[in-house]
Amino acid sequence: MAEHLSPDEIDAARAHLPLYDDRNRLKLGTFATNVSNGMSISRAPTSYEMTWPHTLDLARRAERAGLDLVVPIGRWRGFGGETNFNGECFETYTWAAGLAQATERIQVFATSHVPVIHPILAAKQAVTIDHISGGRFGLNLVMGWFKPEMEMFGAVQREHDERYRVGEEWLTIVKRLWTEDKPLTFEGEFFSTLEAESWPKPVQRPHPVVMNAGSSPAGSDFSARNADVSFVTVEDPATAEPMVSGFKNMAWEQYGRRPRLFSGAYVVCRDTEAEAQDALREILDGGDRQAAKNLMSILGVQSRSFDDILRQKSAEDRFIAGWSAPTFVGTPEQIAQRFVDISGIGVDGMLLGFHDYAVELDHFEENVMPLLKEAGVRG
């Protein structure tokens, strides 16, 4: 039988997960450690490399530092330029399974494209990783905006809002396979199943955590209805508070749901502000401008989530240093304060990128995490 749990019951059932640990008011995780160049479209020197030993080491470093989750980018091809940015990439379900076996506490996500992974296969893969991890798996669901990738699979690149209707059917099938005992016969506009079964069921109740990023009206509504974690971009906490509270209120009032709200940051933290600014300048000076232009051009046509950023004069620099995420530059004290300010408007977590993840994660653990504990946003 499918379980229909209240928000309070869901929180209690997931209390073992870092994402639901109330001791840490602001959850933290890493992003994009499964793709070449990570979040830096730059040739600036770094120890970051696209190898299994390195990506495994980064997950273990994040876990030792007390971070709560690791989230990959779903990528199938690069963006050209001299670096062919993100052109080397680990497939995310397999990546998550490997990390799940090699870690103990941190929550491990896969990122899944709706148009190229069948929901029955996705449901089975997710449950397998949930069992490998002892109930620490999460699914980051994306609708598929990069047309050349979709064409690799012969998939149709649908109109923007229609992608979310496809995603609704896709996730409905996955969740029902996760939670229902009887075989599933489903006839929708985009998918159909006949007597579909999926055993075993997940370790997590009522099912693995689902994450989604969508800032368009259709994307925001999809997240409010379906996601346990919704991802948005917060530029300035002072002006973003109405957006944060508005989304949470809408999710509760319209759907009776309490999704966590996450944002992201590209962190350039050094002992002095001058050192941090110099480090950022080195990343920008080494920027692969052609790859950045290619990415921005594709986003401008095929996704609506980045429209405001693409209109900014500094947009190219934003993509070179952080894949368009807000850049947090400064001393440990300055970086910590920015996290505290974001937590203060109701953001529940942050996904972080660094130019040199290994070196900078250690610096973050030693210099920023203690300040976040002092401020009360980390336990």
Tell me, yes or no, whether 176 lies in a domain.
yes
Q: Per-residue confidence at 305, pLDDT binned at 50, 70, 90?
A: very low
Q: How many domains does the chain have?
A: 1
Question: 238 or 355: which carries more pLDDT confidence?
Answer: 355
Cα 242 from Cα 321, distance rounded (Å): 27
Over residues 159-183, the mean pLDDT reads 96
Strands 107-113 and 69-71: parallel
Tell me, yes or no, whether 314 lies in a domain.
yes
Question: What pLDDT was estimated at residue 307?
Answer: 52
Tell me, yes or no, whether 98 lies in a domain.
yes
CA atoms within 13 A on the CB side of 252: 11
Tell me, yes or no, whether 207 lies in a domain.
yes
Q: How far is CA 183 from CA 49, 128, 221, 361, in A?
A: 44, 19, 29, 46
pLDDT digits (tens, 9 = 90+) for 196-240: 999 999 999 999 999 999 888 999 999 999 999 999 999 999 999
User: What's the alpha-carbon Rg for the chain, to the nearest Å?
Assistant: 20
Question: What pLDDT was estimated at residue 155?
Answer: 85
pTM over 0.85: yes
Tell me, yes or no, whether 20 lies in a domain.
yes
Give, for 29, the enclosing helix (H) or strand (E): strand 27-31
Is 14 in a helix, a strand, or coil? coil
Structure tokens at 47: 């120890």
Q: What are phi and psi of 8, to 5 degrees?
A: -65, -40
Parent domain of 47: 7-375
Nearest Cα to Cα of residue 270 among 328, 346, 324, 212 = 328
Structure tokens at 140: 């980051």
CATH code, 215: 3.20.20.30
Res 3 pLDDT > 90: no
Tell me, yes or no, whether 336 lies in a domain.
yes
Q: Vertex 69, ends 330 and 282: CA angle to 5°?
A: 30
Percent of the chain with pLDDT strictly greater than 90:
88
Q: What are phi and psi of 313, to 5 degrees?
A: -65, -30
Tell me, yes or no, whether 360 lies in a domain.
yes
Strands 192-196 and 184-187: antiparallel
pLDDT digits (tens, 9 = 90+) for 112-128: 999 999 999 999 999 99
Tell me, yes or no, whether 1 lies in a domain.
no
Q: Per-residue confidence at 310, pLDDT binned at 50, 70, 90?
A: very low
Is 264 in a helix, a strand, or coil? strand
The position carrying tokens 């944060």 is 244
pLDDT digits (tens, 9 = 90+) for 38-87: 999 999 999 999 999 999 999 999 999 999 999 999 999 999 999 999 99
Question: What pLDDT was estimated at residue 313?
Answer: 53
